[in-house]
Amino acid sequence: MTIAPKIDAAGATPLATQTTSRHFPARGDAPLLIEIDGHGDRLRLAGREGLSAEAELTLAADGVSGRLAITQPDGLHPAEADVLAALIEAAFQSRSALLRLELPDFAGKPALAGLSIESGGTEGAADAIVTRSLFYQLPLLWRQAGRHVAYPAIRSGLGPVDRQPPLRPAQPNGEIYKRWLPHLGMTLSLRTIDRRRDLDLFHHWMNQPRVAFFWELAQSREELDRYLAAQEADPHLFGVIGSFDEEPVGYFEFYWAKEDRLGPHYEPEDFDRGWHGLIGNPHHLGRAKTLAWFRSLTHYLFLDEPRTQRIVGEPRASHHKMLSYCADVAYEKVKEFDFPHKRAALVCCERERFFREIAL
């Protein structure tokens, strides 16, 4: 099931109240702002002295294909890749049914070298082709590259003896992901939890009855400090604070599934990932925002490690609302099984299906 804002018959996302989109280069530079006209067919970079970008979007009759005619930049310098990525993302955001973009006369240009794997056109035209499913897997925007390091697949002696994982990279630090959500008009971000800074907030959230029912961590500050300290020493997981427009909203844990408690209950691959989460800020409850977290957390994990082909989870089998969220974001229920503390459902999200079906 594709999750997307409501669209009209032509595939256009309503833009009456949103004329500027925000785009976050992976290298950590300041956000790029793209102004979109009221019909969503003219795009222009705003607020950057000495840097220009303009494009015009034309939709095909089917509404799923389009042409993005870029006037500026010309794509001849590799450093223009960020601006081109921002224009492309703005086009996909303005038309949530759009699956494929042709960029006239851009095939083979240096700035597009890491963006397009196809070319098209007739009578000698050199049009680059960018698909939505490919674009959102590329490390150009969203995931803050400077906070991560790539590790080779070196076998490690750390972890369960029956499920030896590769050597895992050190936990990232600081802000790791940022994405503008046009249907909410908000910026979603993730930063690693800092127990020196976040302990009071973590303690408050964990002691809310609705959170404690699922997490079973309604404990003292001292006990929760030890919980976070143990997490810092564990190479198979790390915790993050998720925010909307810099306001803390929820807590999430990302883990490598092979050496997690879930590992013995299925046949894990080395780079399978999983996550747990809670919305601690009651002002941001509701299906639309919760689905935004499901999409973004899954997106981050696929971006973080290109070798990850599956995101897995183990919600309570009786938690029907959680399972309905999973189903709406391309997670398939595989089976049910028993942990000592709960009857769980194994859910799995495949990379190819996620990027094919889910409109980010």
Q: CA 193 to CA 206: how far, in whole Å?
A: 14
Q: CA 87 to CA 351: how far, in whole Å?
A: 24
Q: What is the DSSP string of 169-190?
A: PPPP-SEEEEEEETTTTEEEEE
How many residues comprise the chain? 360
Q: Which run of H or of E encompasses 20?
A: strand 20-23
The yes-or-no answer on residue 332 being catalytic is no
* Beta strands at 42-46 and 54-59: parallel, antiparallel or unpaired: antiparallel
* Contact yes or no for 53/72 (Cβ under 8 A): yes
Q: CA 2 to CA 75: how far, in whole Å?
A: 32
Which residue, chain included where needed, has tokens 């999409």?
A: 295
Residue 294 neighbours by CB under 8 Å, 6+ apart: 325, 326, 328, 329
Q: CA 21 to CA 74: how far, in whole Å?
A: 22
Which residue, chain included where needed, has tokens 């971000």?
A: 189
Kindly name the residue from 89, 102, 175, 314 that is annotated as catalytic: 314
Side-by-side strand order, sheet with 127-131: 20-23, 32-36, 42-46, 54-59, 65-72, 100-103, 127-131, 118-120
Burial zone of 195 (CB within 10 Å; 0-12 exposed, 13-18 middle, 19+ buried): middle
In three-state form (DSSP H/G/I as H, E/B as E, the rest C), the secondary structure along 106-127 is CCCCHHHCCCCCEEECCCCCCE
Active site residues: 314
